[in-house]
Amino acid sequence: MADLLSTVKKAAMDAMAAGNPAAVMFGEVINTDPLEVNVDQRFTLPADFLLVPESLIHYEIDLHHSHEYTDDSGSGTSTKQTKPALPEKPIVIRRGLEAGDKLLLLRVQGGQQYVILDRVVSA
C-alpha cells in the first residue's frame, strides 16, 4: 500500500512539473520601443509575451492653462486673457518603464505569458 501511495504522489508531482505552474522571476528592461525584457539573464521576451499593468504605463497631465474674461471696467467692455497658470511642462503622474529597470515577473502557467508585477528597487 505504501508503494502505491508513493507512486501516486510521484505521478502528481511529475504532472505538476510538466504543467509549468506559475513562477516568480526577475528581469530587466533592455528596450522600451518595442518593449523587451531579459529574464534571469537567460532569455529575452518581446512585448507579445508581456502583460504590463496600468501602474507601469507612462501617464502625464498638462495643467498649463489661461482663461478669457470680460472686463467691464472704465473704458467699456473688452475680452481679456489671464496670464498662464501652472507649469508649462506636463506633470508626470506615473513614469513608464525605462531601459535598465529591474522587474519582478510572474510566469503564467504554461510559460506563454509573463505578468510584470512591479519594478524592483534597492533599499
The CATH code of the domain at 22-58+95-123 is 2.40.50.140
Enter the DSSP assignment of 108: P
- Report pLDDT for 78: 78
| Rounded-to-integer distance, Cα 96 and Cα 52, Å | 10
Domain boundaries, the chain: 22-58+95-123, 62-89
Structural contact between residues 79 and 68, judged by C-beta atoms closer than 8 angstroms: yes
Percent of the chain topping pLDDT 90: 49
- Report pLDDT for 19: 65
